[in-house]
């Protein structure tokens, strides 16, 4: 996807610093966004959280639809577990597929058993407001992994990392990625059979003619 986005004018769509904590899992889905901010005494008080329905990290999960990816701006902070096992069990049951956090989650041994895709900076035993952050806004534009993410943007993530696709470019990226994947499959076959790298990656004019014949044969 990053190559397709580059060809469409988006220089770098990779969410930097977020690492897969769910090997082998791939997800594609729209972003639900949650923004954390630094605590300030006139805005955040412990008493505020006597009413759990004022905890905004709950409300982003209330909005979850099947296929959604929750994306969290936790400011790269490593001392706040923005979600734990119970919250993410609920998210999974609602059909959520991925969790992307510029920060940490908690209860990792149990969370990883849920089968969600997890892209994180790390894990921590701390709960979400234990140290320096508090949840501030739901479904607003956020920064995550040094990238701007709007609610509804498409997240594509696998073992290589997570990428944001602007919603308005999603169809163009899909078309480009499909074509690219197809010619790469052809090139992979030829290279595995001992073909010349200079001919097959990228495709030379000679190889492209061969590729078109390969496509026609496959579709017949």
What value does the mean pLDDT take over residues 57-62? 96
Tell me: do 181 and 90 sit in the same domain: no
The pLDDT assigned to 48 comes to 57
How many domains does the structure of the chain reveal? 2
Q: Tokens representing 4? A: 């397709």
Asked whether residue 198 carries a pLDDT value surpassing 70, the answer given is yes
Per-residue pLDDT tens for 79-124? Answer: 999 999 999 999 999 999 999 999 999 999 999 999 999 999 999 9
Q: Tokens representing 98? A: 């991925």
Segment holding 144, helix H or strand E? strand 142-144
The pLDDT assigned to 4 comes to 82
Tell me: do 196 and 138 sit in the same domain: no
Strand partners, 137: 35
Asked whether residue 29 carries a pLDDT value surpassing 80, the answer given is yes
Tell me: do 25 and 76 sit in the same domain: yes
DSSP string, 94-142: TT--EEEEEEEES-HHHHGGGT-EEEEEEE-SS-TTSSSEEEEEESS-E
Tell me: do 152 and 178 sit in the same domain: no
Supply the mean pLDDT for the chain.
Answer: 93
Tell me: do 161 and 197 sit in the same domain: no
The pLDDT assigned to 3 comes to 80
Strand partners, 162: 157
Cis peptide before 30 (omega within 30 of 0): no
Cis peptide before 202 (omega within 30 of 0): yes
The pLDDT assigned to 52 comes to 80
Q: How confident is the model at residue 20 (pLDDT cuts 50, 70, 90)?
A: very high
Whole-number Å distance between alpha carbons of 21 and 61: 20
Per-residue pLDDT tens for 31-48? Answer: 999 999 999 888 877 665
Q: Tokens representing 70? A: 């929750």
CATH number at residue 30: 3.50.30.40
The pLDDT assigned to 103 comes to 98
Tell me: do 53 and 137 sit in the same domain: yes
Tell me: do 140 and 54 sit in the same domain: yes
Per-residue pLDDT tens for 141-169? Answer: 999 999 999 999 999 999 999 999 999 99
The pLDDT assigned to 130 comes to 86
Q: Which domain holds residue 215?
A: 171-219
Phi, psi of 118 (to 5 degrees): -130, 120
Q: Tokens representing 180? A: 């690219």
């Amino acid at each position: 996807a990053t190559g397709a986005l580059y060809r469409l004018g988006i220089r770098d769509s990779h969410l930097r610093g977020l690492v897969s904590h769910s090997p082998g899992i791939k997800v594609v889905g729209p972003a639900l966004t949650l923004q954390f901010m630094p605590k300030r005494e006139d805005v955040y008080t412990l008493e505020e959280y006597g009413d759990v329905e004022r905890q905004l990290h709950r409300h982003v999960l209330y909005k979850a639809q099947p296929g959604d990816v929750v994306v969290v701006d936790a400011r790269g902070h490593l001392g706040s577990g923005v979600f734990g096992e119970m919250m993410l069990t609920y998210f999974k049951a609602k059909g959520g597929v991925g969790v992307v956090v510029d920060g940490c989650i908690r209860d990792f041994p149990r969370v990883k058993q849920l089968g969600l895709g997890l892209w994180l900076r790390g894990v921590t035993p701390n709960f979400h407001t234990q140290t320096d952050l508090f949840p501030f806004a739901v479904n607003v534009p956020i920064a995550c992994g040094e990238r701007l993410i709007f609610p509804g943007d498409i997240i594509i993530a696998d073992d290589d990392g997570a990428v944001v696709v602007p919603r308005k470019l999603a169809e163009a990226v899909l078309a480009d990625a499909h074509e690219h994947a197809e010619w790469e499959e052809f090139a992979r076959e030829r290279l595995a059979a001992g073909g010349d790298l200079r001919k097959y990656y990228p495709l030379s004019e000679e190889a492209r003619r061969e590729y078109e014949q390969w496509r026609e044969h496959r579709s017949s």
